[in-house]
Amino acid sequence: MKKVGVIIPNYNGKKYLTDCLKSLQKQSYRDMEIILVDNGSSDGSIELVKRDFPNVRIVSLPENTGFANAVNVGIKATNAEYVFLLNNDTICDVGVIEALGTVLDHKPGVFSVQAKMLQVKEPHNIDDAGDYYCALGWAFSPSKDKPQERYSRRACITSACAGAAMYRREVFEKIGYFDEAHFCYLEDVDIGYRARLFGYVNVCEPLAIVYHVGSASSGSRHNAFKVELTAANNLYFIYKNMNILQIIINLPLFVAGVIIKHVFYLRKGLGRAHIKGLSKGFSKIIKNYDKRVTFGARQFAYSILMQFELWINLIKRIV
C-alpha cells in the first residue's frame, strides 16, 4: 500500500498530460501511486499515457461523468492514506507531495491541505491559494491574480481547491464523498464546507507550489457552461449545507448576491445562462433533496461558527 494516491481526472487533456506527469516523475517522494481517471476522452489521452508513462494506472470511464464522479472513482480505486487530487493542466514543483503530506502527518484535525497554485503564464501571480465562502452566497478566492509573495504563510480556508489538494482519505467514509450531482464546479467547496460541519479544518500550504493553466476543460474563465453550472450548484450548495435558521438569516444577502451576479453576467452577455443555471439549481435541489446534511447537535454547533465566518468573509470580499 502506498501512502499517497495521486488522482488525476482527465477529459481530452492530452496536450497537458505530458508536462503534468513529468513533474510528478521529478518528485523525490516515491511512496505514491498515480491514477489517471479518464472521462471518455477522444483525443488520444489514454494512448499517450500508456506509451510514455507505463507506471500510471488508468481507469477508463465510457463517457464524461464530470469531475466529482471521476475523483470519487479514483479515491475508491486506491487504499492510500492520503489522496492528492490534481488537475491535468498543472505542473508540480519539486517537494509538493512531501510538503502537503507533512501537514496531514502533524495536524490530525486537518481534512484537506491545498497547494499554492500559481498561474503558468504569469507565475508571479496567484491562481488560487484557498477558497472562501461568504454570506452573499459566493465562493471566492481572494488571492486570485495577486502577487504570490503576499501568500507565504499557512492559512485556514473555507475549502481547498481540488485542482491541487491532498485529502485524508478516511474522512470521506465519515462525511461522504464528492457530490456527483455537482458534475463540476463548487464540488470542492461543498466537500470542504461539509468537513467543517463535522469539525475538521482545511488549510493552504504555501511551501507546496503547483502551476496551473486554468479552465483547460471549459475553455475560459467566464462562459455559458461554467455560469450555468456554478449558478445551479451554488443554490444546491446552500440547500445542502446550511440549516433552516442560517438560510433565513442570510436570505436577504443571498438574494442581493444573485442580483449582483446577474448584473455582472448581463454585462458579459451571459445573463440568459445565469437564469438558466438558477432554474437548474432548483431542479437539482428537488432531485437530490435527500442529500442534505443531517444537522445533529455537533453539526448545528459548527454551523454557528461557520455563520460568523460567512460574515467575516463577506467583509473580506467587499474590502
Last residue of a domain, one of 180, 212, 244: 212
Last residue of a domain, one of 158, 183, 212: 212
Closest CA to 56 of 101, 16, 5, 105: 5
Closest CA to 36 of 54, 152, 124: 54
Last residue of a domain, one of 166, 181, 212: 212
Shared domain check, 195 and 239: no
The predicted pLDDT at position 221 comes to: 72
Is residue 219 included in any domain, yes or no? Answer: no
Alpha-carbon distances of 46 from 60, 83, 193, 278, rounded to whole Å: 8, 21, 34, 36
Shared domain check, 204 and 121: yes
CA–CA distance, 203 with 205 (Å, rounded to integer)? 6
Shared domain check, 175 and 32: yes
How are beta strands 90-92 and 110-119 bridged, if at all? unpaired
Shared domain check, 242 and 120: no
CATH of the domain at 135: 3.90.550.10
| Domain carrying residue 144 | 4-212
* Domain total in the chain: 2
Q: Quote the cell numbers at residue 21.
A: 506527469
Count Cβ atoms below 10 Å from residue 128 Cβ, excluding itself.
24
Is residue 111 included in any domain, yes or no? Answer: yes
**Residue 125 carries which DSSP code?**
B
Shared domain check, 251 and 126: no
Q: Quote the cell numbers at residue 250.
A: 442570510
Shared domain check, 243 and 170: no
Shared domain check, 19 and 142: yes
Shared domain check, 23 and 51: yes
Is residue 169 included in any domain, yes or no? Answer: yes
Shared domain check, 16 and 46: yes
**Residues forming a β-bridge with 204:** 114, 155
Is residue 218 included in any domain, yes or no? Answer: no
**From the CA atom positions of the chain, what is the Rg in Å?**
19
pLDDT 10s digit of each residue in the chain, 319 long? 899 999 999 999 999 999 999 999 999 999 999 999 999 999 999 999 999 999 999 999 999 999 999 999 999 999 999 999 999 999 999 999 999 999 999 999 999 999 999 999 999 999 999 999 999 999 999 999 999 999 999 999 999 999 999 999 999 999 999 999 999 899 999 999 999 999 999 999 999 999 999 865 545 678 999 999 999 999 999 999 999 999 999 999 999 999 999 999 999 999 999 999 999 999 999 999 999 999 999 999 999 999 999 999 999 998 8
Is residue 217 included in any domain, yes or no? Answer: no
Shared domain check, 236 and 178: no
Shared domain check, 306 and 232: yes
Shared domain check, 238 and 202: no
